[in-house]
Amino acid sequence: EPNEDAIKRVIELLRIRKAQMDLQTATDELAKLEGRKDPVEFGDIAAELAFQQFELERDLKLERDQRGDGKFLSFAQSDMAESRNYLDKTPLAEIGQQQMEATAEHLEKAVLALEQAFEKAADAADLAETPEQESAAQLARKLAGESADHLRKLISKARNTAGERGNVSDLLLDLGDLDYRIQPAQEEIKEIEKEINSDNCDPQAEEDLAEAKKALAQALKDKNAKQKALTEAIRAALKAAVELGKEAAEAKEKRVPAVEKAANDGQTDAAEEIEDLKTALAEAAKRAQQAAESLKKHEQLAADEKPAILPPTGKPTASAQKAVILKIEREIKELMQSASGQGESGEQPPMDPETLKLLMEMMRMLQEQGLMPESSSSQSQSQGSSSSQSQGNGQGNSPGQSNAGGTTNRTNPIEGDGFNRNDPSRETPQASGAGGRVPSEYQDKIQAYLRALRARQNRDK
pLDDT digits (tens, 9 = 90+) for 15-50: 999 999 999 999 999 999 988 889 999 999 999 999
- The pLDDT score that the predictor gives to residue 120 is 94
- The pLDDT score that the predictor gives to residue 95 is 94
| Segment 71-129, tens digit of pLDDT | 999 999 999 999 999 999 999 999 999 999 999 999 999 999 999 999 999 999 999 88
- The pLDDT score that the predictor gives to residue 5 is 74
* pTM exceeds cut of 0.75: no
Which tops the pLDDT comparison, 184 or 442? 184
| Segment 225-261, tens digit of pLDDT | 999 999 999 999 999 999 999 999 999 999 999 999 9
Write down the number of H helices and E strands in the chain: 14, 2
Whether the predicted pLDDT of 328 surpasses 80: yes
284-320: buried (b, 16+ CB within 10 Å) or exposed (e) per residue?
A: bbbbbbbbbbbbbbbbebbeeeeebbbebbeebbbeb
pLDDT grade, residue 332 (50/70/90)?
Answer: confident
Which tops the pLDDT comparison, 370 or 427? 370
What's the CA gap between 414 and 139, in Å, rounded? Answer: 55
Bridge partners (DSSP) of residue 402 are 390
Smallest CA-to-CA distance from 109 within 329, 250, 280, 275 is with 280
- The pLDDT score that the predictor gives to residue 399 is 35
pLDDT > 90 fraction of the chain, expressed in percent and rounded: 50
Whether the predicted pLDDT of 219 surpasses 70: yes
Whether the predicted pLDDT of 397 surpasses 50: no
Nearest-10 Cα torsion for 368, 373, 376, 382: 0
Whether the predicted pLDDT of 130 surpasses 70: yes
What's the CA gap between 47 and 26, in Å, rounded? Answer: 12
Handedness of CA 300, 303, 304, 307 (dihedral sign): positive
Query: If you average pLDDT over residues 157-170, what whole number do you get?
Result: 92
Kindly report the backbone phi and psi dihedral angles of residue 356, in degrees, each rounded to the nearest multiple of 5, phi listed first. Answer: -60, -40
Whether the predicted pLDDT of 360 surpasses 80: no
- The pLDDT score that the predictor gives to residue 378 is 39
pLDDT grade, residue 339 (50/70/90)?
Answer: low
Bridge partners (DSSP) of residue 401 are 391
Which tops the pLDDT comparison, 411 or 34? 34
Whether the predicted pLDDT of 438 surpasses 60: no
Query: If you average pLDDT over residues 342-358, what whole number do you get?
Result: 53
Q: What is the mean pLDDT of the chain?
A: 79
| Segment 186-204, tens digit of pLDDT | 888 888 887 777 766 677 7
- The pLDDT score that the predictor gives to residue 86 is 95
Query: If you average pLDDT over residues 429-444, what whole number do you get?
Result: 40
| Segment 378-389, tens digit of pLDDT | 333 334 333 333
- The pLDDT score that the predictor gives to residue 437 is 43
- The pLDDT score that the predictor gives to residue 185 is 84
pLDDT > 70 fraction of the chain, expressed in percent and rounded: 71
Whether the predicted pLDDT of 404 surpasses 70: no
- The pLDDT score that the predictor gives to residue 398 is 37
* Among the ranges given (168-172, 379-383, 416-420), the one the predictor scored with the smallest mean pLDDT: 416-420
Whether the predicted pLDDT of 443 surpasses 70: no
429-439: buried (b, 16+ CB within 10 Å) or exposed (e) per residue?
A: eebeebeeebe
pLDDT grade, residue 445 (50/70/90)?
Answer: low
Query: If you average pLDDT over residues 65-75, what whole number do you get?
Result: 92
Smallest CA-to-CA distance from 382 within 396, 403, 405, 367 is with 403
> Angle 115-57-308 (CA atoms, 0-180°, nearest 5)?
100
